[in-house]
Amino acid sequence: MLPELTQRQHESSNQLNLKIFAISAIKAFVVTTVVFIMLFIAIVWLLRGAQSSNPHSYEELGAALGAALGTFVFPVLTLIFWSRQQHTKIVRFQDKRVFLDRLNSEVAKMRLKETRRSETFLSFKQPFSKKELSVDLSKSDLATLSGMYLPVNTLRKRLTQ
């Protein structure tokens, strides 16, 4: 029953990750759109005094610049928003003592500082960051890692190798 439950959790986690990614992409699109509207207004305002033989040259220049920058800025903003989201991953282990030894060594390699420790819960944080990475050991053979995307996935990969 446990593998079936874990499979359902994994599927629902993937659906949740897709929703979070979509929301992050929408946020990035809105921010990018606002930036390019402001940029277009600034370009038109700065170039308004220049004489041009083509009355549409300002709009064409603003649209071309906005399209060129949007092609590069939108994916970067999407990745930034996506990597700062909260993520949860589940790691299986056989022996709790061996797992904790390995966890401590991998956390030390990642230069994370321990902030809280109990029998079933560990919390770590990167220097100069408010975001925490937590490890829940309340299940007998499962560890739940939660925190920002990059540290959680890095730790999960290191622990499952």
Of the chain, the percentage scoring pLDDT greater than 90 comes to 11
pLDDT value at residue 7: 52
Read off the pLDDT band of 145 (50, 70, 90). very high
Listed residues 83, 114, 135: the one ending a domain: 83
Q: 66 and 78 share a domain?
A: yes
Q: 54 and 73 share a domain?
A: yes
CA dist 28 and 24 (Å) reads 6
Q: Amino acid identity, residue 73?
A: V
Read off the pLDDT band of 26 (50, 70, 90). confident
Listed residues 83, 112, 140: the one ending a domain: 83
Contact predicate 93/141, CB 8 Å: yes
Q: Which tokens is 120 given?
A: 């079933």
Q: 52 and 97 share a domain?
A: no
Q: 106 and 120 share a domain?
A: yes
Q: 71 and 90 share a domain?
A: no
**pLDDT tens digit string along 52-94?**
556 566 666 666 676 667 667 777 777 777 777 788 888 998 8
How many CB atoms are located within 10 Å of the residue 90 CB?
Answer: 16
Contact predicate 87/149, CB 8 Å: yes
Structural domain span for residue 121: 86-160
pLDDT value at residue 52: 56
Choice between 45 and 14, residue whose per-residue pLDDT is larger: 45
